[in-house]
Amino acid sequence: MRSFVHAIVDPLGFHARSCVTIAREASRWASAVIVRDAEREADGKSMASLLALRARRGDVLSVTCKGPDEAEAASAIEALMRMSL
């Protein structure tokens, strides 16, 4: 299991475009991807599930990847989130 945390800095928060981008990247990997905020949990491969987090600027998300390619998945998703969120 690989995990990392990410604080959202984008003024728009976790908006539709960023959720689609994250879900597409997460779907490339066999590992399960779970994104959590302080109160909720979302499937990282589902844009709708990610949007339901309603994460805003300043919120801290915890991302956990679990499966055969968890290290690669976590690295790729973390890099993407740092670039776009």
| pLDDT value, residue 84 | 79
**CA–CA separation, 62 vs 41, rounded Å?**
9
Catalytic residue, chosen from 1, 9, 12, 15, is 15
User: Within the chain, where are the H helices?
Assistant: 16-27, 47-51, 70-84
Residue 69 is part of a domain; what is its CATH number? 3.30.1340.10
Q: Catalytic site residue 6?
A: no
What's the gap between Cα 36 and its chain centre?
A: 8
Taking the model in full, what pTM does it have?
A: 0.93
Residue 21: band (very low, low, confident or very high) from pLDDT cuts 50, 70, 90: very high
| pLDDT value, residue 33 | 98
- Examine the pLDDT at 64 and tell me if it is beyond 90: yes
Residue 62: band (very low, low, confident or very high) from pLDDT cuts 50, 70, 90: very high
- Examine the pLDDT at 65 and tell me if it is beyond 90: yes
Domains identified in the chain, total number: 1
Q: What domain range includes position 71?
A: 2-84
| pLDDT value, residue 48 | 97
51-60 residue pLDDT tens: 999 999 999 9
**CA–CA separation, 38 vs 26, rounded Å?**
21
Contact 3, 63 (CB under 8 A): yes
